[in-house]
Amino acid sequence: MSRMVEEFWAHLNDWGDRLALKDKEHCFSYRQLKEEVERRSQHLQALGAQRIGLALDNGVEWILWDLAIVHARRVSVPIPGFFSAQQQRHVLENAGVDLLIYDRTSQASLPLGLFEPLQTLGMAQRVLAQYPEVPVGTQKITYTSGTTGQPKGVCLSIEQQLQVAKSLWQATECADIQRHLCVLPLATLLENLAGVYSPLWGGACIEVSGLSEVGLSGASGFEVQRFLTKLHQVQPNSLILLPQLLLALVTAAEQGFLPPHRLSFIAVGGGHISRQLLERAEQQQLPVFEGYGLSECASVVCLNTPQARRLGTVGRPLAHVQLKLSEDQEVLVKGSSMLGYLGEPSSHSEWMTTGDLGQLDAEGFLQLKGRRKNQFITAYGRNLNPEWIEAELTQQSCIAQAWVYGEALPRNWAVLVPRGATRTQAELQAAVDQVNAALPDYARIHHWLLEPQPFTADRGLTTANGRLRRMALFEHYRAQLPLQPLV
Taking 3-state DSSP, the helix, strand and coil percentages for the chain, each rounded to the nearest 5, stand at 35, 25, 40
Q: Kindly list the domain boundaries of the chain, sorted by start residue.
A: 3-157, 159-372, 375-480
Q: 270-317: per-residue pLDDT in tens?
A: 777 888 889 999 999 999 999 999 999 999 999 999 999 999 899 999
Q: Cα–Cα distance between 57 and 180 in angstroms, integer?
A: 18
Mean pLDDT of the chain: 91
Question: Do the Cβ atoms of 363 and 215 come closer than 8 Å?
Answer: no
Q: 73-84: per-residue pLDDT in tens?
A: 999 999 998 887
Q: Cα–Cα distance between 295 and 338 in angstroms, integer?
A: 8
Q: What average pLDDT score do residues 340-368 get?
A: 90
Question: Is pLDDT above 80 for 360?
Answer: yes
How far apart, in Å, are the Cα atoms of 331 and each of 118, 154, 323?
A: 47, 19, 7
Q: 11-52: per-residue pLDDT in tens?
A: 899 999 999 999 998 999 999 999 999 999 999 999 999 999
Question: Is pLDDT above 50 for 148?
Answer: no
Q: Span 375-480: which CATH code?
A: 3.30.300.30
Domain 3-157 has CATH 3.40.50.1370: no
Kindly give the residue spans of alpha helices, DSSP state H, lying in 180-299: 189-192, 198-201, 224-234, 243-254, 275-283
Q: 227-241: per-residue pLDDT in tens?
A: 999 999 999 999 999
CATH number, domain 159-372, options 3.40.50.920, 3.40.630.10, 3.40.50.1860, 3.40.50.12780: 3.40.50.12780
Q: What is the pLDDT of residue 208?
A: 98
152: β partners? 144
| 3-157 and 375-480, same CATH topology | no
- List the one residue out of 235, 238, 234 whose CA is nearest residue 169: 238
Question: Is pLDDT above 70 for 8?
Answer: yes
Q: Cα–Cα distance between 318 and 322 in angstroms, integer?
A: 8
Q: 381-418: per-residue pLDDT in tens?
A: 677 889 889 999 998 989 999 999 988 787 899 999 99
pTM strictly above 0.85? no
Question: Is pLDDT above 50 for 58?
Answer: yes
Q: What is the pLDDT of residue 381?
A: 65
Q: Which residue has the higher pLDDT, 303 or 149?
A: 303
